[in-house]
Every structure is written in C-alpha cells, then in structure tokens.
Structure 1
Amino acid sequence: MREVAGLPHLRVRALAEVGSTNVLAMEAARAGDPGGLWILGGRQVEGRGRRARPWVSEPGNLYASYLVLDPASGDRLAQLPLVAALALSEAVDEMCGTYALAKLKWPNDLLVDGAKISGILLEATSLPNGSRAVVMGFGLNLVHHPDLADYRAADLAGLGYQVDVGQAFAALAGSLERRLVSWNGEAGGDRLMADWQARATGLGKAIRVRFDSGETHGIFEGLDEIGRLRLRLEDGTLTSVSAGDVFFGNGS
C-alpha cells in the first residue's frame, strides 16, 4: 500500500496481475475498507465492461478502480458516470498536454476523432452497515487497443502521445479527486452538467440508442437534471434515457 503524491488520504494497492480491479475494490469494501482506495493492476485477466462484456487488458495500459463509500444519495448517484468520464477526459488533457482532446459520448465513453480510447465501469452495492459502496473502474488505452465489433478504438501512443502508466494514474487520481469535490460543492450538479456537455459529441444530431430489447432514435438534446440522455423523438416528444448504447447517425 502506498500514498498518492499530493493526495495523502488516498491509498493505492498496486498489483502486477489481477482478475479484475473492480472485483478487488468491491471485496475490500465488503471487508470493511473505509474508502479512498485505488486498486491498480498491471494486467487484468478477467477485465469486463458494461453488460459483462470482456475487455482486453494486456500490460501497458491503465487499469485502475477507485472505491468510495456513500458518494451521494438518491438520483444524484446517476450522475457519477458523468463525473468519472469528465475526470478521465481532463486527466487525458493533463497527461498529453492537450485541450479537450477527448470528446464525451453519453454516458462515459471517451472518443478521439470518433475512436474509443477508454472504458469506464461503475458498480455499487449496499454493505451490512447500511453504507453504499461504489467502485469506479477505469481502463485507458495508452499503448494498445482492442478490436471492437461496434466501435472504432484507438490508443494514445498511436495518436502520437507517449504516456506511461504512472503518469496516467497520477493525472487520473488528481482529476477525479477535484471533480468529486466540485460535484459535492454548491451547485455542483449544474456545473457538472455544463462541463460535461461542453465536451460532448453528437449534441443536436441524430443518434440511435440500443437497448437489450431493441433500439430507438432521435435528436440528442443534451442531459436532463439528473444526467439522463434527452432524446427528441420523430413525433416531437422529448424523452429521457437512463441506459443504452449510443450510435451516431448510421454508424458508431
């Protein structure tokens, strides 16, 4: 266990190989960890994304999960994926020396020139003492990327940015800390929505949203008050979408 420079209240458990950093972080929560814990893996052998999709996790990329207890209550928990995505996009700018390099696709994908460079998975559970444990898992393509069926993917090295795991993790840990503090401050939710939408891609354009049971399409009109996707349907109805995979136009 070691401390993060400049963030002494955070702790990091770094392992050369893990099954899943999210699983280890959740196990720590169930074992009584007070939160503020990062699990950092050099390689994941059981990495996964949304809906239990496998995620390629070979050495060289960033694989990290952060455990936090009771980060918010009620509907505000729905905003955490936006917090995570915004924090990672800001960390990418810090590590690469860029400005708004990565655009955001709802709810938490980072795209560079339309190609996905990251994976973010949030999981939560209730603990016996009544607390709610939330694990925020991050995967960032630093030196290689997977071949995905539905999306183009890229990595920072291939885009011309040489970043090692240590630099990437330090940037992410600091960025997430700042974003969580801001989010929990006065008007934090409004600031989050504004900042997320400033980096969003596809606003005002036609999108498709795919669900397990089918799909719908319409015009992406931003976020509602709790972070759900606002979709203007063909009949003019405005609806909010809580979960689904977003595709732009006729492609990914």
Structure 2
Amino acid sequence: MTRQASECPAPGAPDFLYEEHESVGSTNAVCFERARQGHNGSLWVRADEQTEGRGRRGRDWSSPAGNLFTSLLLINPEPVDRIGELPLVAAVALADAVDKAAGTLHLVGLKWPNDLLVNGAKLSGILLEAEVLSDDRQAVVIGFGVNCISHPPLSLYKATDLRSLGYQVPVETLFEALASAFSVHYRNWQKPGGFEDVRRHWLKRATHLGKEISVKTAREDITGIFADLDAHGHLVLKQDDGRQRTIYAGDVFLSGD
C-alpha cells in the first residue's frame, strides 16, 4: 500500500484513514490517484477548496472555501453486486450527519437518488464514480459537497446553505459527523439484506414520495407518482394507466417545476 505522510485515522471513524489538503482540483480525483498508486482504500480525503469540482453528468460544482468538500475511496467494496445502492447509503449518512452537526431533527429531505433538500432547495451534492484499476481491483469513490456557508446559483434547482438557514456548522464538525454516520450505515449495508435498513431510512426523508414528479432521463421525460423505491433503491413510478415503471437513472422534478 502506498501511504501518504499526512494520513491519520479519520475523525469520527478511526477504522478509516484520512488526509487533508488546503486546495485540490477535486477530492474525487485525489482518491483515484491514491488508488492508482496502490492504496488499499477506506480513505477519506478532505480539502478546504476545490478548483475543479464537478457534479453528476459532468456538471460543475462550485467549491469555495468554507463549504465541505470530501471524498471516500473504497477498494473492492462488498457486496459487489450491490454497489449501485451506495449513493443512497451516502445520502442517508449525510442527512444524519447534517442533523447531528446542526443539532436538528430531519432538517433535510432526500430527493432521489441522493440530493439533500431543505424547503425544496439543494444543500449538497453526492457523486459516485468507479474505475477498474490496472491490477483489476475496483476503485469506488464517493464525493460529497455540502453548502455550509455559501451556495451557488444553480440553473436546474434552487440552492441553499446552512448559514443562510441559521445554522453555524464548522466544516470539521460536519465532516466528523459524516465519517461516523457513513461508517455505521456502510457496515450495516454490507450485511445480508442490509440495504433494507438504508431504504427504510431513505424513505422516511423522501421529499417527493406520493407526489407527481417528472423524471428526465437520457432518452425521455417521464411523469408519474413517486410510489416507492425498489429493493435496490431504484425509483418506482406509478403512471396514469396504473402500471408501475422502474427508473434506474435520471433527474427528478416536481411536476410543474
């Protein structure tokens, strides 16, 4: 394993490693660099600032100092056939972490698959990426960006930040809460049938459950009632004709937005 000099046990999750930077292009990119260097994973990387932050589908993610930018490197996470559930594991962990750090109860709701919303405005972004390494190991990186003291104007969604909402949450406090919450939910997820606990927690925070939504996929726009999550976290839509349709990827909007 290639070990970085700055590595130490992660605050809040000593079973994970941690390294901290003043400024990086993106914390996801640093994680992949570590993986290509032979790192064994279970590594958190946090930066005060990102200069090349990005979100889902290649969108830019504004990354000024004072907000939380961190990524987690996992190598060969098990069970491998359920890796697609990890974005929801990450969302539940981050939602719990925000509540713990801010001293709130269900401050945030969840928009499928992994956006955190407060009163309909986006508070955070989560980006999962994966790569098969030259030695055939699989590197999975989960990136988190949380608006602690500022938020950008977003073209697709309204945005907000914790300070604007009246909560003074230091980045370090939020990171420690996230590392701790993710460790708990990740270990539970790894157990047989472990996603059902994640699914239940996710649905308790679901902002659009039972409402008519539109889902923009790569090929079409689909409208229906958000009926459920299936056993692997996919969105189940009930359409006008009563049939249910499973959505595997897409952007969700309340109908009329």
TM beyond 0.5: yes
Q: Which runs of 5+ in 1 are unaligned?
A: none
Q: Does 1:244 align with 2:250?
A: yes
Out of 24, 27, 31, the position equivalent to 1:18 is 24
Instruction: Render the CA deviation track for 1:141-160: whole Å, top value 9, x for unaligned.
Output: 00000100111100000001
Q: Which amino acid aligns with 1:15?
A: H
CA contact (8 A) 1:141 1:155 kept: yes
Task: Map 1:1-252 to 2 at 5 A.
Answer: 1=6, 2-251=8-257
Counterparts of 2:17 and 2:135 in 1: how far apart (Å)?
22
Q: Which runs of 5+ in 2 are unaligned?
A: 1-5
CA contact (8 A) 1:75 1:226 kept: no
Counterparts of 1:226 and 1:8 in 2: how far apart (Å)?
29
Q: CA deviation at 1:187?
A: 2.9
Residue-pair matches, total? 251
Q: CA deviation at 1:75?
A: 4.0
Counterparts of 1:168 and 1:198 in 2: how far apart (Å)?
21
- Residues 51/5 of structure 1: CA separation in 2 closer, same or farther (3 Å cut): closer
Q: CA deviation at 1:162?
A: 0.1
Provide the aligned C-alpha RMSD in A.
1.2
Query: How high is the sequence identity, in percent, across the aligned residues?
Result: 46
- Residues 121/18 of structure 1: CA separation in 2 closer, same or farther (3 Å cut): same
Q: CA deviation at 1:213?
A: 2.6
Q: CA deviation at 1:222?
A: 1.4
DSSP 3-state at the match of 2:232 = coil
DSSP 3-state at the match of 2:23 = coil
Counterparts of 2:112 and 2:129 in 1: how far apart (Å)?
17
| TM-score computed with the length of structure 2 as normaliser | 0.94
Give every structure 1 segment of 4 or more consecutive aligned residues whose post-TM-superposition deviation is greater than 3 Å: none
Q: CA deviation at 1:186?
A: 4.1
